[in-house]
Amino acid sequence: MNCEITPLSEHTGAEVRGVDLSRPLDDETRARLNQAFVDASVLVIRDQSLTANQLLAGVQNFGTVFLQQNSKFALPECPEIHYLSNQDRYPDGKRYIPGAGYHTDHSNAAEPPKATVLLAIQLPEKGGDTQYVNLRRAYEGLSAATKQRIADLKGTHVYQSKHSERKLIGLTDEAKQKVPDAVKHPLVRTHPESGIPSISSIRSGSRKSTGCRKATRWNCSTNCSHTRRRRNTSIAIAGSRAILSCGTIAAFCIRPMATMTIARPAISIGLC
Ligand SMILES: [Fe+2]
């Protein structure tokens, strides 16, 4: 398959054209896409009009699917995929904005997924951007003394952190039995494929990060971020091992969109 891969910024993201994920990919194309994903941390694959089951099959070119922790938003015809929408509300009637606030999906899992996949199905005329923060670059920018100080620190990751800017929809009793209560992960992790170190997620799902919060907060401010304007039928694959995401999609988008997660070495998917 003759696909074209173009960088989207100096440090984060690559755009892919000429790929049809509704059909099997040849080995060479699959290898190119996976390498581009490792290098750019975010892949945006254009022009994918897919059914839920085609999305599920297409995403498995990048790994196996990680099951979402909260099944409330599962698509009936394909429960591995969840929708994101601005049409859902908390029990008290307030609008629920999924994906808002910087976070990495499922960082509270013992083995977190390697990526989150979003397929934009219906977007509004305005809004719906996603901001990605490159944590590899954030780590690069730390002083040698700070790198040494945080080298052995760990953060505690939970489903709902008191530090989170958003309140998640509560888990069912059944899900609570399966979702880890609190998991520790190193603050600095090394990407298993590239060998490049980065800071791990310390917002949203992380409860404590033992002295590292101040040191790293804000290298991630301006020189590491990249904002993507979503387009209908575009798929975004964001790497959980080097990226923080902040979505505004649900504040503006109209049901349905889709999301899923790729486990390790797999993905989390969502229609958004
Ligand atoms: Fe997310």
Mean pLDDT throughout 23-50?
Answer: 95
What pLDDT score does 233 carry?
81
pTM value? 0.84
What is the CA(145)–ligand 1 centre distance, in A? 32
What is the CA(2)–ligand 1 centre distance, in A? 31
Give me the CATH number covering residue 251.
3.60.130.10
109 neighbors 261 (Cβ within 8 angstroms): no
What pLDDT score does 228 carry?
59
What is the CA(43)–ligand 1 centre distance, in A? 15
What pLDDT score does 168 carry?
82
What pLDDT score does 37 carry?
94
What is the CA(103)–ligand 1 centre distance, in A? 6
Ligand 1 ion local residues (Cβ < 5 A): 99, 105
Closest CA to 235 of 54, 102, 79, 31: 54
Tell which wins on pLDDT, 72 or 97: 72
What is the CA(1)–ligand 1 centre distance, in A? 30
Tell which wins on pLDDT, 132 or 188: 188
What is the CA(105)–ligand 1 centre distance, in A? 5
**Res. 48: pLDDT tops 60:** yes
Closest CA to 50 of 74, 86, 77: 77
DSSP single-letter state for residue 158: -
What pLDDT score does 126 carry?
67
Number of domains in the chain: 1
Q: In terms of DSSP bridges, do strands 115-119 and 266-271 run parallel, antiparallel, or are they unpaired?
A: parallel
Mean pLDDT throughout 189-204?
Answer: 83
The two tokens of residue 71 are 């099944």
What pLDDT score does 229 carry?
59
What pLDDT score does 164 carry?
72
- Give residue-wise pLDDT tens across range 78-100: 988 888 877 788 888 887 777 77
What is the CA(238)–ligand 1 centre distance, in A? 9
What is the CA(15)–ligand 1 centre distance, in A? 20
Average pLDDT over the chain, rounded to whole? Answer: 79
What is the CA(194)–ligand 1 centre distance, in A? 23
What is the CA(144)–ligand 1 centre distance, in A? 31
What spatial distance separates the first Cα and last Cα of the chain, rounded to whole Å?
A: 27
Tell which wins on pLDDT, 196 or 222: 196
The domain in which residue 267 lies consists of: 4-271
What is the CA(12)–ligand 1 centre distance, in A? 17
Query: What percent of the chain lies above the pLDDT cut of 70?
Result: 76
What is the CA(19)–ligand 1 centre distance, in A? 25
DSSP string, 26-56: PHHHHHHHHHHHHHHSEEEE------HHHHH
